[in-house]
Amino acid sequence: MFGNLTGWHLLVVLAVILLLFGAAKLPALAKSMGQSARVFKSEMKEMKRDDEIAAQSSEAPRSADAGTTPTVSPEPRRSTDPSV
């Protein structure tokens, strides 16, 4: 799609952007885009860390119970006879 673009096309696009936004606003625009990218990256890392913690916490009980079956001892029978 963009295979036919040359350096001149890029230069024209940059000139149009410069005219639209002005030279004074470009550094602020670049700074805000950089901050947004940093925030996005840190949030993605936080989400991955949360997923890893959740996976570890859900694996821990399963690994402790693996291979064992719960044993339930029956309750002793109580007689209903009041004379006992």
- pLDDT of 49 reads 94
| Number of domains forming the structure of the chain | 1
At residue 31, what are phi and psi to the nearest 5 degrees? Answer: -65, -45
The predicted pLDDT at position 60 comes to: 63
Quick one: pLDDT at residue 36? 95
- E strands along the chain, which residues? none
Answer yes or no: is 48 within a domain.
yes
**Torsion, CA 39, CA 16, CA 13, CA 27, rounded to 10:** -30
In a domain, 80, yes or no: no
| Domain-embedded: residue 46 | yes
Give the per-residue pLDDT at 68: 59
Evaluate whether residue 63 is within a structural domain. no
Question: Domain range spanning residue 47?
Answer: 28-57
Residue 36 lies in a domain: yes
Please indicate, yes or no, if residue 39 is contained in any of the structural domains. yes
Round to whole Å and give the CA distance between 47 and 24. Answer: 36
pLDDT of residue 2: 66
Flag whether 78 is in a domain: no
Q: Is the pTM of this model over 0.75?
A: no
21 in Cβ contact with 29 (< 8 Å) = yes
Task: Evaluate whether residue 37 is within a structural domain.
Answer: yes
pLDDT per residue over 21-75, tens digit each? 787 887 888 899 999 999 999 999 999 999 999 888 887 655 455 555 666 666 6
